[in-house]
Amino acid sequence: MDTDIAAVPVLRDNYVWMIRRGETAIAIDPGEAEPVRRWLEAHVLRLAGIAVTHHHADHTGGVRALAPLLSPEGVIVTSAEAGIPHGRIGRAGEIVRFPGGVELEVLAVPGHTRDHLAYATADGHLFAGDTLFSIGCGRLFEGTAAEMVASLARLQKRDPATLVYPAHEYTAANLAFALDLEPENDALLRYREEVQALRQRGRPTLPVRLGRERALNPFLRLEDPAIRRVVRARGGPPAHDPVAIFANLRCWKDCFVVRVENR
Ligand SMILES: [Zn+2]
């Protein structure tokens, strides 16, 4: 059966991804409970499970309030440090089965936090939390650049047709940074037009195809001569070390966000 997925916007710019199967739904990263509860009610669906990618409050804040709505055999799967009662900790490589039939493969992707997990369906949907965004990646709050590069590589080698569901609507801000690096990248300019049109209509820019991210996202193009030229031109490392290149991009992005937000 095809997997049917809906976005429930919560907080400032988070999405709770709802995987729907028959009369059941699984909530990924419910940072807030009430919008999820209303969505379940409106669609007359039972909550069969919750999956949490990492311990940050904007991904876990709604779990306690949603837990009583879970169907009797409902499953809560979480990262190691999410601290959720009755949640069980997902192990890399395992397949979690939810009542109603949804199955999620657990992937360990440390970097943004040490405990970060991603979840994937067998039919090509990948819930990336705060690890991979469209045209960006998560900040390094706990992990190292080397861990994040390895985690992104783990996600990146999946089928290019995979649909990626990040937890935040960051695409427009990420494009501003990517176009600051490569102002003449036609594919990025075209993507910006698409993203602007979607946002003007209040629509999510997500999910995104992994193949397109591999072609456009600077954090996935550490071997791309065009990105290496930009890094060298800005005084970054001349070496062919993807981790050093990543660390420079990530550091510039952190500063770039601050500059934009302070404007
Ligand atoms: Zn986070």
- Cα 130 to middle of ligand 1, angstroms: 5
In which element (H, E) is residue 42 found? helix 34-43
The Cα 249–Cα 230 span in angstroms is 10
- Cα 30 to middle of ligand 1, angstroms: 12
The Cα 168–Cα 14 span in angstroms is 4
- Cα 184 to middle of ligand 1, angstroms: 31
- Cα 84 to middle of ligand 1, angstroms: 16
- Cα 207 to middle of ligand 1, angstroms: 18
Calculate the alpha carbon distances from 50 to 21, 45, 83, 84, 88 in Å: 14, 14, 14, 11, 11
Backbone CA torsion sign across 1, 8, 65, 77 = positive
- Cα 186 to middle of ligand 1, angstroms: 31
- pLDDT at residue number 21: 96
- Cα 123 to middle of ligand 1, angstroms: 26
- Cα 141 to middle of ligand 1, angstroms: 8
CATH class of the 4-262 domain in this structure: alpha beta
When computed from its CA atoms, the radius of gyration of the chain, rounded to whole angstroms, is 18
pLDDT tens across the length of the chain (263 residues): 567 999 999 999 999 999 999 999 999 999 999 999 999 999 999 999 999 999 999 999 999 999 999 999 999 999 999 999 889 999 999 999 999 999 999 999 999 999 999 999 999 999 999 999 999 999 999 999 999 999 999 999 999 999 999 999 999 999 999 999 999 999 999 999 999 999 999 999 999 999 999 999 999 999 999 999 999 999 887 777 999 999 999 999 998 876 665 54
- Cα 225 to middle of ligand 1, angstroms: 30
- Cα 115 to middle of ligand 1, angstroms: 11
The residues whose Cβ lies within 5 A of ligand 1, an ion, are 56, 130
- Cα 133 to middle of ligand 1, angstroms: 12
Domain ranges of the chain: 4-262
- Read off φ and ψ for residue 58, nearest 5 degrees: -75, 0
- Cα 23 to middle of ligand 1, angstroms: 30
- Read off φ and ψ for residue 253, nearest 5 degrees: -65, -40
Contact (CB, 8 A) for 195 and 205: yes
- Cα 169 to middle of ligand 1, angstroms: 13
- Cα 129 to middle of ligand 1, angstroms: 7
